[in-house]
A = this chain, B = another copy of it.
């Protein structure tokens, strides 16, 4: 009988093996054969598990995002104040721990700005939406708990975009320390206005 493999698991393994090369190079400069080499498999085998090159990137971002979300969830549970939660939420954009994910994310944004294909758009919109809802729930529970003023709700979309805006602006210089300072100073300033004293 033929060998039976766990396709889903192998897909993950290959994706993970590819992660390193993607981080070292950029997604754009990666050829399938380099990826196959990195994963220690044949070129054709890639296509047994992935539809195309982008599919690999999806899988990687997916895996990394899921892992990160788990971490984030825990971190968010470890603090109580809404302010701390917001800081944790936006720390994504400057945290050194997630520099790998950030790098991939940067590529992702770059591609989505100039080359968006349907599945990419779809993926990004789902991501964006789920993060937005998450962030929203943090602010809302802050209001419920009486930490934030009622009007905070109208600021959610903006606050949530601040990180991304600063991230993009900062992307060329890659000075995460500055980014951290800027984001946190803004949070301080805005909380002065929206915190119930």
Assess the A158–B162 pair: CB atoms within 8 A.
yes
Once bound together, how far apart are the Cα atoms of A50 and B162, in whole Å? 34
Contact across chains for A155 and B190 when beta carbons are under 8 A apart: yes
Flag if A173 contacts B106 (CB, 8 Å). Answer: no
Neighbour of A157 across the interface among B114, B116, B171, B182, CB < 8 A: B182
**What is the CA–CA distance of A181 and B26 in the complex, to the nearest angstrom?**
35
- Give the number of copies in the complex: 4
Is A77 interfacial (CB 8 A cutoff)?
no
Q: Interface centre among A106, A110, A114, A166, by most B CB within 10 Å?
A: A114
In the complex, whether A38 has a CB less than 8 A from a CB of chain B is no
Chain B CB within 10 Å — which of A125, A128, A157 has the most? Answer: A157
Chain A positions 105 through 126: 1 when the CB is less than 8 Å from some CB of chain B, otherwise 0: 0110111111110001100110
| A residues lining the B interface (CB < 8 Å) | 2, 26-28, 42, 106-107, 109-116, 120-121, 124-125, 128, 151, 154-155, 157-158, 161-169, 171-173, 182, 185-186, 188-190, 192-194
